[in-house]
Amino acid sequence: MAMIISQCSLSVLRQSAEKLRAGDLVAFPTETVYGIGADAENKDAVARMYQVKNRPTGHPVIIHIAELNDVDYWAKDVPEYAINLMRDFWPGPMTLLLRRRDAAGDFLTGAQEIVGLRIPANSLALGLLNEFKAFGGKGIAAPSANRYGAVSPTTAEAVSQELSEYLSPNDQILDGGPCLVGVESTIIDCSSESPKILRPGAISAEMIEESTGIVLEEVGETKIRVSGSDKQHYAPKAKVIVDGQSQSGEGLIAMSEVTTPEGVIRLAEPKSIEEYARVLYSALRMSDTQNLQTVRIIPPTGQGLAVAIRDRINRAAAN
């Protein structure tokens, strides 16, 4: 069982970086969700992280780096539009898929010729990444800190509930409070002539078009495997139903203007799209702690972040 550390001082981050270099796992917050981190150059540590998550080995992981200069170690042939995106949105909730260098082994990329990179916009995560770099680390492989297919954690307590029985006493969970965004990063394929969104997030299509000057095309079927791309994902134990009239005994997640029918358990009533993203996963987790059989979700309308929220809701509801 890993210890939750709430007072994450510089000395704690230094110790955590040393643990990562020694092959241990460290869960840490980002602005999106909590990740479970391993030294991206340590094949054995990454393999144990996959085991802890019960993650299929063919699914690639995102490598978190400290600064723009670190991109060149992992990726090559970086297009100009991708550099524009990095300058505009890093640190931030955006993962770029780039052509990999040899440093990005098959065990990180799912044997694909591309690697996912991100600089998180979270002071604790950046502090850890900088300390890790000071010890010679090149990047932290960090998918969401949950069992594969389950709801991503947005608090340290949720990480502990999800993974503590699979972690060792040498592993750590760093507590940085609730995540500010609440849904995973936008994944953008930058391995060809124009960018393509493979997973929506807080960095919207409109923002990408403004940054790159390129009009995005609709992405149909793609052979590229990315995190969170399974049809069913982000799912609680309860059955998730999208839209319709709430029934007595069901849980309900909807914007605050939607009233709660008699006998329905209100799990969340966000007042804004940003709040909806921030509380969605904790509300889904609450449905499991209350042993609900069914959760009904009324998705938000509109573009931008609402697109990402609807994507996660639809995957949670898929059978």
The full set of domains in the chain, from first to last, is 3-212 (3.90.870.10), 239-317 (3.40.50.11030)
Confirm if 96 and 87 have CB atoms less than 8 A apart.
no
Confirm if 185 and 94 have CB atoms less than 8 A apart.
yes
CA 76 to chain centre: 24
pLDDT beyond 90 at 174: yes
Confirm if 157 and 289 have CB atoms less than 8 A apart.
no
| Residue 223: band (very low, low, confident or very high) from pLDDT cuts 50, 70, 90 | confident
CA 74 to chain centre: 20
Name the pTM for this structure.
0.95
Distances (CA, A) of 14 to 131, 224, 263: 6, 36, 50
Q: What is the pLDDT of residue 319?
A: 62
In this predicted model, what pLDDT tens digit does every residue of 119-154 receive, in sequence order? 999 999 999 999 999 999 999 999 999 999 899 999
Q: Within 13 Å, how many C-alpha atoms sit on residue 199's CB side?
A: 23
Confirm if 288 and 237 have CB atoms less than 8 A apart.
yes
pLDDT beyond 80 at 233: no
